[in-house]
A and B are shown apart, each in its own frame.
Chain A
Amino acid sequence: MTAPDPPPAITDDELLARFMLFSRWIREDRTLRPDGFMPSPNSELSVTRQFGLSEVALWQIGQAVADALQKILYGRADLKTADVRRQRLQVDAAPLSENLNHANITGWPPDKPSQKIIAQELAASATFVARE
């Protein structure tokens, strides 16, 4: 993998990938359930920036994430950064040694119903790409 290091600033047109690690996050019609877009208890949603990555390299990262968590990689949700920001959320670059393209979606409201409606909006705007 020889992708260039992604710049810290994330532009509106950057695509983000949320790896789908549970089959129940994907409906039969290949749309996505909002459950897969709810923030973790520390109010972050982990994603991978697609900047500079080939399809092969992106799937390699996804598989590594799934392997590390001992899950199955069912596919990924492609999200536009602009769609995330439209929900008044931030996308923060958070490179990891094993994934320099890692980022967190932050700025979630504290109350659960507001989080749920945002997760529904993100799920509706995302595109599912199945793992071949």
Chain B
Amino acid sequence: MIIEMTASTVLSFGAVPTYGASETAQFVAEQAEQGRRQLHASFFFGMDGRGVLEELYSVTKGCLVADWDGYGAAPVRAEAFAQACRFLKALPFGVQAPSVGAEPDGQLTLEWYRSPRRLLSVSITPDGDLHYAALLGPNKAYGTEAFYGEVPRPILDLIHRVQAA
């Protein structure tokens, strides 16, 4: 059986949920997941192809030891790296790639940036808490959301607001 998966199909539906237990349903689910992975790895739709995961790895590697900044910074822990990977992979297609950083408390940061007064920064803790702050012209938004495998709606909305012209 050959099922053609086009980009628009996958973009419209994302990964097909495995509601059915039949062989066909399983096959479709596998194909959709494969297509999603390929798209995720592509330059236009995913994060991997844009080097974000490599950047995440590089930043983490440089911050694994205590006092990496010379001012007493806490090391970035493997759990924070793993949470950041999961967060990146949970981002929907079409989202602009963030840049990666690290903070003195050992948290990794992802930044969506348009200008110094239009940006969003999300700090990811080893426990999966997402501390975010955004400047949107004269407005500010900041808070904490838990990460349970899906990008929390308030953060997704802020990403879109930063990306919007």
Contact = CB atoms under 8 A, between A and B. Distances in A.
Q: Which of B59, B71, B132, B140 has the most CB of A within 10 A?
A: B71
Interface size class, chain A: 20 to 34
B10 interface: no
Main secondary structure of the interface of B (DSSP, over half): strand
Interface size class, chain B: 20 to 34
B11 to A, nearest CB: 29
B15 interface: no
B111 to A, nearest CB: 6
Interface string A24-43: 11010001111100111110
B102 interface: yes
Contact of A116 (B102, B115, B117, B142): B142
Contact of B133 (A21, A27, A68, A117): A117
A46 B71 CA distance: 8
Contacts of B123: 112, 116
Nearest to A69: B70
A114 B142 contact: yes
B104 A39 contact: yes
A113 B103 contact: no
B71 A40 contact: yes
Contact of B69 (A21, A116, A120, A121): A21
B103 A117 contact: no
A40 B135 contact: no
Interface in B52-95: 59, 69-74
A123 interface: yes
A124 interface: yes
Q: Which of A31, A71, A117, A124 has the most CB of B within 10 A?
A: A117
A46 B72 CA distance: 12
Interface string A41-74: 1100010000000000000000000001111000
A65 B18 CA distance: 57
A120 B132 contact: no
Contacts of A112: 105, 107, 123, 131, 144
Nearest to B143: A113
Interface string B112-154: 0101110101010000000111110000101110000000000
5 contacts: A21-B70, A35-B102, A120-B119, A120-B133, A124-B135
